[in-house]
C-alpha cells in the first residue's frame, strides 16, 4: 500500500461509527469500502475475516516493555478496522491483559470480544464467566464459547440464559482436536449455535471433511484457530520465495497466503491468528482485503504445501 492509499484507507475507517455496549451494528459498507472481505457475526453485523488470537502471547506480560507491543498491536488493529479478538480464561492472564489495554485505549466498543468457558461443572463455569466479565472490564461479552466441549450441554443452556438477559451476544463451541470432531459435529447437529471455532490450516485440513461443510449447511459462522499451526507453516516455507500464484491474490507474504487460503473456504470463516506485533497486524489484516483464491487456486495451494 502506498502512503496515500494508506491515508485514504485509514480515513475511510475513521468514519466508522461506534456503537456503545457492543461491537454491533458495525458499518459493513465502510468495511467493504476499505476493501475487507467480511461476514456477518452475531451480534456485531459484518466483521473482517481476520481477527486476533491471544493464546500464549498475552498470557503474562510483567513490565511496561512487555505491555507496550501488545498495546500498540491492539491500537493498530482498531485503527485498521479489525474487530474480532479471541481469548480464554485458560490463557494465563490474557483476559486481564486485554481488559487493561482495551480500557487504557478506550476501544472496547470497537471490538468483538470472544472468550470461552472451560469447566467441568456449571458452578465452576458460572464463577469463571463472572471472572471473565471482571477481567475484560466489560458488562457485555460478544461471544462466549464452550472450550473444547467441557460439560457442553449444561454450559450452552446457561450461556443462552446470559444471551437472553443481554449480558452476552452469542454462544458457541470450540475445539482444536481431531478426536473431538465427531462429538463436535453431534453438538452442531443438536444445538442451535451462533458460532463455532475449529482448527484449520493449509497443512491441517481435516476440518474441511465434515465440520466446515456442516457449518455451511447450517449457516453457522466459523472462527479458525491455529491458522499457522502455531508457526509450523512458517517453518515449512522458511527461506522459500512466494510462488508466482501468490501475486494472483495479491498476497505479499507467506502469512497472507496461509490466511487467504483459510478465509476463502466456502464456509467463509474468520481466522484468528496469534498476533502480538504491529507488523503482524498489518500483514494479517492485509490478508482479509482484496482478492481471494478460487477453488482451482486453492487446490494448487494444497498441492504446493503437500509437496514440500
Ligand atoms: N480449542 C481452542 O479453542 C483453541 C485452541 C488453540 C488456539 N485457539 C485460538 O486460536 C488462536 C491462534 O492460535 P495460535 O496463536 O496458538 O497459533 P497460530 O495463530 O497458528 O500461530 C501464531 C504464531 O504465528 C506467528 N505469526 C503470527 N502472525 C505472523 C505473521 N504475519 N508473520 C509471521 N509470523 C506470524 C507468531 O509466531 P512468533 O511469535 O514465533 O513470531 C505467532 O505466535 C489462539 O491465539 C487462540 O486464541 C483456540
Cα(277) to centroid of ligand 1, in Å? 12
Closest alpha carbon to 41 in 18, 25, 17: 25
Nearest CA to ligand 1 atom 10: 225
Establish whether residue 283 lines the binding site of ligand 1, counting it when its CB lies within 6 angstroms of any ligand atom: yes
Burial (CB count <10 Å: 0-12, 13-18, 19+), residue 182: exposed
Q: Per-residue confidence of the chain (308 residues) as pLDDT tens digits?
A: 444 454 444 445 444 443 334 444 446 778 877 899 999 999 999 999 999 999 999 999 999 999 999 999 999 999 999 999 999 999 999 999 999 999 999 999 999 999 999 999 999 999 999 999 999 999 999 999 999 999 999 999 999 999 999 999 999 999 999 999 999 999 999 999 999 999 999 999 999 999 999 999 999 999 999 999 999 999 999 999 999 999 999 999 999 999 999 999 999 999 999 999 999 999 999 999 999 999 999 999 999 999 99
- 7-16 long-range Cβ contacts below 8 angstroms, 24+ apart: 9/34, 9/35, 9/80, 10/79, 10/80, 13/79, 13/80, 13/81, 16/81, 16/110
| The pLDDT of residue 27 | 67
CA 300 to ligand 1 centroid distance, Å: 24
pTM assigned to the model: 0.94
Q: Which three cell numbers stand for residue 46?
A: 459484518
Amino acid at each position: 500500500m502506498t502512503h496515500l492509499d494508506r491515508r485514504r484507507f485509514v480515513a475511510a475507517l475513521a468514519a466508522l461509527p461506534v456503537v456503545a455496549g457492543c461491537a454491533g451494528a458495525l458499518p459493513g459498507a465502510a468495511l467493504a469500502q476499505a476493501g475487507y472481505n467480511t461476514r456477518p457475526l452475531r451480534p456485531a453485523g459484518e466483521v473482517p475475516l481476520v481477527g486476533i488470537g491471544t493464546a500464549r502471547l498475552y498470557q503474562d506480560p510483567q513490565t511496561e516493555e512487555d505491555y507496550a507491543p501488545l498495546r500498540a498491536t491492539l491500537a493498530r488493529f482498531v485503527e485498521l478496522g479489525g474487530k474480532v479478538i479471541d481469548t480464554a480464561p485458560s490463557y494465563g492472564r490474557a483476559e486481564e491483559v486485554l481488559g487493561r489495554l482495551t480500557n487504557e485505549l478506550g476501544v472496547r466498543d470497537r471490538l468483538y470480544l470472544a472468550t470461552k468457558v472451560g469447566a467441568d461443572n456449571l458452578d465452576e463455569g458460572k464463577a469463571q464467566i463472572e471472572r471473565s466479565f471482571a477481567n475484560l472490564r466489560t458488562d457485555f461479552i460478544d461471544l462466549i464459547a464452550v472450550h473444547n466441549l467441557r460439560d457442553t450441554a449444561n454450559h450452552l443452556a446457561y450461556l443462552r440464559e446470559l444471551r437472553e438477559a443481554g449480558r452476552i451476544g452469542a454462544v458457541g463451541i470450540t475445539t482444536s482436536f481431531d478426536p473431538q470432531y465427531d462429538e463436535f459435529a453431534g453438538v452442531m447437529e443438536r444445538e442451535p449455535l451462533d458460532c463455532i471455532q475449529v482448527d484449520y490450516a493449509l497443512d491441517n485440513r481435516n476440518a474441511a471433511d465434515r465440520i466446515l461443510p456442516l457449518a455451511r449447511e447450517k449457516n453457522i459462522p466459523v472462527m479458525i484457530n491455529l491458522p499457522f499451526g502455531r508457526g509450523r507453516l512458517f517453518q515449512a516455507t522458511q527461506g522459500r520465495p512466494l510462488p508466482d500464484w501468490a501475486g494472483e491474490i495479491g498476497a505479499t507474504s507467506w502469512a497472507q497466503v496461509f490466511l487467504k487460503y483459510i478465509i476463502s473456504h466456502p464456509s467463509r470463516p474468520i481466522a484468528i491468528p496469534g498476533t502480538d506485533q504491529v507488523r503482524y497486524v498489518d500483514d494479517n489484516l492485509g490478508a482479509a482485503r482484496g482478492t481471494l483464491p478460487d477453488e482451482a487456486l486453492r487446490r494448487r495451494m494444497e498441492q504446493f504445501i503437500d509437496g514440500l
